A = this chain, B = another copy of it.
């Protein structure tokens, strides 16, 4: 638990481990695009989906195949993928200045209106792992289904040191 002289990057990885989470191999792009773009201090991440060991997991709609708690766990996994991708893009999380925006889309059963609670699973992980640098503006949208029958999709913009 010692944090003496610990880099931000090492601290983030430690805080993830303390939650039982590790950065793992992210899934490959699902199409003909790149995983991220970096431009003058602003980073644009391709959409992040819940995955484990490079495989999409926790498929279905929240409120139907997945309950609220499972949806939150799916959002957390998508957030973990995002942290993995950002670290890979920057070499180290030390260069992450802050998250800026997280737009979250939740595949939802008819009559399910708690998309913000689902996305809190992602937002909490960002702040737990990245502290102040994990804070973000957010939008939440419902849709009846997502590509590949995924449950949660995160579209993320961040700031980095060049």
Q: Which residues of A are interface residues toward B (Cβ below 8 A)?
A: 29-37, 39-42, 44-47, 97-103, 105, 108, 110, 113-117, 119-120, 123-124, 127, 135-149, 153, 155, 157, 159
Contacts and interface: CB of A to CB of B under 8 A. Distances in A.
Contact of A33 (B31, B110, B136): B136
Nearest to A89: B137
A88 to B, nearest CB: 13
B140 A32 contact: no
Contact of A100 (B44, B97, B101, B147): B44
Contact of A37 (B108, B135, B148): B135
Contacts of A147: 113-116, 140-142
A32 B44 CA distance: 22
B142 A33 contact: no
Nearest to A105: B141
Contacts of A36: 137
B32 A127 contact: yes
A29 B127 CA distance: 16
B100 A135 contact: no
Contacts of A139: 46-47, 153, 155
**Residue of A30, A35, A124 most packed against chain B (CB within 10 A):** A30
A83 B120 CA distance: 25
